[in-house]
């Protein structure tokens, strides 16, 4: 039988949001963030720059949260139209055709529907960098 005693104050310091466990989580989070930024599709760079890392405490557990607060990030990550969760083409709601200008083009294109965009799961694919 051992006489080992746990020091509750020292244990609380280890598990605090500023403790050594949180520091290790944050370090792994930074690796995932760097990988996600490298995998993220770039148009203006706004999405890539918005990927953040934070350590939060929830129900007594430390959690490393990596993500973005941009409204279109989910559509980029999961895809849209036939590639998205609905699985149906994008169609106009208030017109007979969709009108859009492809990147690098000066002319508009008119279509009755669009397949949408393929998923680019940059956050999911970056999780392996946490190891």
Can you tell me the distance from the alpha carbon of 70 to that of 43, in angstroms, rounded to the nearest whole number? 14
Check residue 9 and give its pLDDT.
Answer: 80
Burial class (CB in 10 A: 0-12, 13-18, 19+), 120: middle
Asked if residue 2 is part of any domain, the answer here is no
Q: Which of 13-17, 61-65, 89-93 is least confident?
A: 13-17
| CA 19, 21, 26, 27 torsion-angle sign | positive
Average pLDDT of 97-115?
A: 92
Higher pLDDT, 80 or 17: 80
Does some domain include residue 39? yes
Residue 3 lies in a domain: no
Q: Give me the domain span that covers residue 27.
A: 8-78+121-130
**Residues 88 and 52 reside in one and the same domain:** no
State whether 12 and 74 are in the same domain.
yes
Q: Answer yes or no: do 56 and 94 share one domain.
A: no
One domain for residues 73 and 111: no
pLDDT of 3 over the 90 cut: no
CA distance 104 to 101: 8
Stretch 67-81: mean pLDDT:
95
Q: Are residues 64 and 86 in the same domain?
A: no
Number of domains making up the chain: 2
As a whole number of angstroms, the longest Cα–Cα distance in the chain is 81
The structure's pTM equals: 0.80
């Amino acid at each position: 039988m051992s006489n080992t005693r746990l020091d509750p104050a020292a244990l609380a310091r280890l598990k605090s949001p500023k403790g050594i466990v949180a520091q290790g989580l944050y370090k792994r989070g930074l690796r995932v963030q760097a990988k996600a930024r490298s995998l993220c599709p770039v148009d203006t760079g706004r999405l890539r720059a918005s990927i953040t890392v934070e350590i939060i405490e929830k129900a007594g557990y430390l959690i490393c949260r990596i993500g973005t607060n941009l409204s279109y990030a989910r559509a980029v990550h999961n895809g849209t139209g036939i590639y998205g969760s609905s699985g149906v083409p994008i169609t106009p709601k208030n017109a007979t055709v969709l009108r859009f200008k492809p990147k690098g083009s000066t002319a508009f294109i008119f279509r009755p529907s669009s397949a949408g965009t393929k998923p680019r799961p940059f956050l999911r694919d970056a999780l392996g960098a946490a190891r």
